[in-house]
Structure formats: structure tokens, C-alpha cells
Amino acid sequence: MTAVALATAAALATVWCLGRARVAARSSRAEVPGSGSTGMPGERRPPGWPEETPPWTAGIPMSSRAGRAWASALAAAGVDGDPVRWGRAAGGALGLLAIIGGSRGGLLGAGVLAAVGAGSLLLALRAGRGRGARRADALLPELLEHAGRNLRSGLDLVAALGAAADAVGGPHGAEVLAVTARVAGGASLPEALRPWEEAQNRPAVRLAVGALEVASVTGGARARALDGVAATLRSRAAVADEARALASQARASAVVLVALPAVVALLGAVADPRLAHTLLATPLGLACVGGAAVLDGVGAWWMQRIVARAA
């Protein structure tokens, strides 16, 4: 019973810390004007989109920094929704694992199962890292094409970019709105584009920023140039999608190999309660669970690297 109570208290403490992190982040945004990625007034970001290096980090407690790290991991993995709600769900799941482990193996069993669950969550987030960036970059050709249409309608480059950002939205739309705000504050367009490239330092963004810088200096057929860059980005994305599709079988095999030991152990424990007692209530069983979790995690990391490199 002591182990169950401690595990429940740990889960409630996790939920409380995540809630405090959200309150602190909101209060800091209210106190600091223009608390976007660059600190410019009027800059907007989509709800739940994390900030890479916010200037107001130093004024927020450590719990809020952990909350922003959690939000960044979710966004990098392409997980939509409120990060705090996902954090509560994860905390509840870990607390449930701890309660199950505590009911079978005492405090040590609760800790082992909770650690295995936390490690599995971190591996899943790491495996999905980059999906959020790919989803954001998928909207970049549409943004450039929209800006090209605005240029043909008679708008100048900055106004065309602002209208395209409002229409397309997404993380890059928020960055472009920040670019237009910096231009309105007196910066030249190449200077205003530089923070966007530094914050989202990826080939697609570098290509788009380079095209916009050239268009701002040379003029000429700027709409046609933006359409050409958008077509190039779509072609690159199609090639990358094809490579990921070819690697999908290897990825599915890796998931099955990683999940199979846990599924077999769970089914065996449900079929025979003595197996659960041995695994979670004896030192040898706990050592086996911990060692298996470590080896399974190393194998998952290794296979994920191989598949990601091939894709």
C-alpha cells in the first residue's frame, strides 16, 4: 500500500508541475512585451508551437523550462494539441504503470515499471523527431506560390509575404509575419529574413530565404522566381517522401521487434500471475526486466538510426 500511495503521489506531483509550468509561461508572456521568437511586437505563433530560444527564459522557474522542453519535443515529433494535456496524459500513464508495478513488486517494482515507461516515451519522441519540421516545410511551397500570386496582383514583396503568411499560416507563416514586423520597424528585408533562417536552419528554409533576398535586391520577374523555388521544394519533398515510403517496411519491422518482448511479457503476466510476481517482486526478475528494457531500448535506437539514415 505504501508503494501504491507513493506512486499515486508522484503522478499527481507530475500533473501539478506541468500545470504550474503553463501558468508561469502565460504570466511571463503577459509581463514581457512582444515575447515571440524575436521579441518584436505584433509577432504571432500558432498555439502550442514551442520557442527555440525565448528571450524571457531566465525569468521563468525551472519547472516552466521543463514544460517548454516537453512542448519542443512534441512539436519536433509532429504531435498536435495542447502540450500540457499531453503531459498530463503521460504523467497519468506513468503513474498507472507505477501503481501496477507497486501492487506486484512493491516500491522497487513501481520504480522499474515507471522507468521503463518513461524510457519508452523518450524513445518514441526521439524516433518521431523531425516530423514536425517536415510538416512545416510542406507548407513552404504554398506560401511562396501565394506570395507570387500577390506580387502579380500588384503588391510589393513585403506586403505579398504578409498576405501569404496570413493565408497559409503554420510555423513558417508566423516567422514571415515576424519578418514583416521587423521590416515595418525599419530593418531591410535581407536583415529581417536572417533570424528566420537562423531559427529554422534547414535546406528548404535556406533556399526560400535566399530566393527572397535575391528578389528584394534585384527585382525583375520575382513572382516567377518564387514559383520556381516552390516547384524545386515540392520536387525535393516528393523524393524524400518516396525514400521514406521505401523504408516504411523496415520501420514497421523495427516497431514489431521492439514491441514484441513487452507484449509477450504482458500477455504472460496476465495469463499467469506467478510470472508477474517473479518479474516484479524478486531481485532476479527486476534485474531481468531492467536489463531487457535497456537492451530493447538500445536496439530500438540502433534500428531507428539505420532506418533514418536510409530514408
Given 129, 157, 189, which residue is the final one in a domain? 129
- Residues 155 and 230 both lie in one domain: yes
- Whether residue 20 is predicted with pLDDT greater than 60 in this model: the reply is no
- Residues 121 and 149 both lie in one domain: no
- Residues 199 and 123 both lie in one domain: no
Given 246, 277, 302, which residue is the final one in a domain? 246
Instruction: Work out the number of other CB atoms within 10 angstroms of the CB of residue 36.
Output: 20
The more confident residue out of 210 and 309 is 210
- Residues 255 and 234 both lie in one domain: no
Please state, in angstroms and rounded to a whole number, the distance separating the CA atoms of residues 164 and 143. 6
- pLDDT (average), residues 89-112: 79
- Residues 96 and 17 both lie in one domain: yes
Share of the chain above pLDDT 70, in %: 77
Which of 128, 117, 127, 70 lies closest to 94, judged by CA? 117
- Whether residue 16 is predicted with pLDDT greater than 70 in this model: the reply is no
- Residues 125 and 222 both lie in one domain: no
C-alpha cell at 35: 515575447
Q: Which domain holds residue 138?
A: 134-246
pLDDT tens-digit readout, 121-148? 887 787 777 788 888 888 889 999 988 8
Instruction: Work out the number of other CB atoms within 10 angstroms of the CB of residue 294.
Output: 12
- Residues 125 and 138 both lie in one domain: no
- Overall domain count for the chain: 3
> For the residues of 17-57, what is the DSSP string, one character each?
HHHHHHHHHHHHHHHSTT-SSS--TT----TT---SS-TTG
- Residues 8 and 125 both lie in one domain: yes
Q: Give this prediction's pTM.
A: 0.57
DSSP alpha helix (H) spans, the chain: 2-31, 62-76, 83-127, 131-138, 140-152, 157-168, 170-184, 189-199, 203-218, 222-246, 248-271, 273-281, 283-310
- Residues 120 and 145 both lie in one domain: no
- Residues 2 and 118 both lie in one domain: yes
Of the chain, the end-to-end C-alpha distance in Å amounts to 49
283 pLDDT band, cuts 50/70/90, is confident
Q: Which of 71-80, 101-110, 129-138, 272-281 has the highest mean pLDDT?
A: 129-138
- Residues 92 and 166 both lie in one domain: no
- Residues 31 and 107 both lie in one domain: yes
